[in-house]
Amino acid sequence: MIQPVWKGEKLYRETFAMVLEEGICRARFLFHPSKVLRVESYDGAKTYLEGKDYVVEEDYLIRTADSEIPFADWKKFYFDTREEAVREMEERKEPLGFGPVQTEEGSYVSLAAVGAPSYVTECQVTVTYLTEEQWTYEIPERQLEQLPGLEERFRKKLPVRLVLFGDSISCGYDCSGMYGLNPGQPIWPELVKQGIEIEYGVQTEFYNTSVSGMDTDWAVQNAEERVCRYHPDLVILGFGMNDRCRGAEYREKTRQLIEMVRTQNSETEILLMATSLPNPILHTPPFYFCGYQEEQGEALRELCGKGIALADIQTVQKNIMKKKRYIDLTGNLLNHPNDYLSRIQAQIVLETMKKS
């Protein structure tokens, strides 16, 4: 699960949404496949057969007409009218507190997957395959030299205390394991913890104090209780998805947050995260799920230096989305990654902690 996608060679459980469009269900591979090893349902309970359930044509996985692979058309995920969206919300057992959510195209996104990612993932299949194609995009930068305290602890095999402080993405939404759903993938912070222990052979205390729905204003107010009292060696800051401000303001709020963290722990090092990206067609009032996350991610670079590094989730995701659609990567259609994109987030964080 932590083998980086940019390494190519063998791709593990890449996700493909089977959505009917112009009479065909097809989704694109990230790499040109040289050999498909397994095509499975998202939950891993069902294996599908080439020729019977799917065919591979060039860089696409295509569902056959008589396939057992579940599929849907776009109307399952996007409604034509506000009335349909309102009716769906009224039928929910638990109110959301927001919505309906209109897209830039004028349709309304279904909110049925919020808190219930299987609404989306039941129409996603996973493919494990081999490729000879090389990753041609930017590779995440290794920045352990910017975290000299952490580097020394790794080198001396000393215990490491980490705090992850962020929003719902850092809580682990929408990893299947968080909901007790199959295939039960651990949340990405747990993959990071395991990856550190495997790579460096150190004992790791990992405290995840993230809270869903929060932003940097809340983070500054709660840093002492949720970060400082743990006296961490490294703090991973995972905000941005819920901040609606422009990049410069976000940078200054993050600077203030870093200062708060270091008031009691001057030697604590910081790993900033440029948050994963939301549904790109949701830059719409009044909720603006797609706000200024990309601008904020770029602004964080100005804070980096000795003791502060950046895990750039966004650049990798943007490059993946040159071939994959957002519906191939999401668990809720709004802003939460599915198992596949969550694994990639862990891979990027771990790469950032390596020595160049």
**Residue 202: Cβ within 10 Å count:** 16
pLDDT in tens, the chain (356 residues): 999 999 999 999 999 999 999 999 999 999 999 999 999 999 999 999 999 999 999 999 999 999 999 999 999 999 999 999 999 999 988 889 999 999 999 999 999 999 999 999 999 999 999 999 999 999 999 999 999 999 999 999 999 999 999 999 999 999 999 999 999 999 999 999 999 999 999 999 999 999 999 999 999 999 999 999 999 999 999 999 999 999 999 999 999 999 999 998 999 999 999 999 999 999 999 999 999 999 999 999 999 999 999 999 999 999 999 999 999 999 999 999 999 999 999 999 999 999 98
> For the whole model, what pTM was predicted?
0.97
E strand intervals along 252-315: 269-274, 308-312
74 with 18: CB under 8 angstroms?
no
pLDDT at 334: 98
What CATH code is assigned to 144-352?
3.40.50.1110
DSSP 8-state assignment for residue 248 = H
DSSP letters for 180-247: T-TT-PPPHHHHHHHHHHHHH---EEEEE---TT--HHHHHHHHHHHTGGG--SEEEEE--TT--S-H
Buried (b) or exposed (e) across 261-279, using 16+ Cβ within 10 A? Answer: bbeebeebbbbbbbbbbbb
Count of CB atoms situated within 10 Å of the CB of 281: 16
Q: How far apart are CA 163 and CA 264, in angstroms?
A: 14
Q: Where are the domains of the chain?
A: 5-70+123-131, 144-352
Q: Peptide bond preceding 59: is omega within 30 degrees of 0, i.e. cis?
A: no
Distance between CA atoms of 356 and 343, rounded to whole angstroms? Answer: 22
Q: What is the pLDDT of residue 264?
A: 87
Cα 262 from Cα 287, distance rounded (Å)? 33
- CA 270, CA 190: separation in Å to the nearest integer? 18
According to the model, what pLDDT value does residue 238 have? 98
Amino acid 93: pLDDT: 84
Give the pair of three-digit tokens for residue 164.
Answer: 């992850």
Whether the Cβ atoms of residue 185 and residue 176 lie closer than 8 Å to each other? yes
Using the Cα atoms of residue 278, residue 194, residue 35 and residue 174 in order, give the sign of their dihedral: negative
How many other C-beta atoms can be found within 10 angstroms of the C-beta atom of residue 10?
12
Of 82, 81, 42, 35, the C-alpha closest to 339 is: 42
How many whole angstroms separate alpha carbon 314 and alpha carbon 94?
A: 32
Coil, strand or helix at 136? coil
Per-residue pLDDT, 148 = 98
What is the C-alpha to C-alpha distance for residues 273 and 246, in angstroms, rounded to an integer? 16
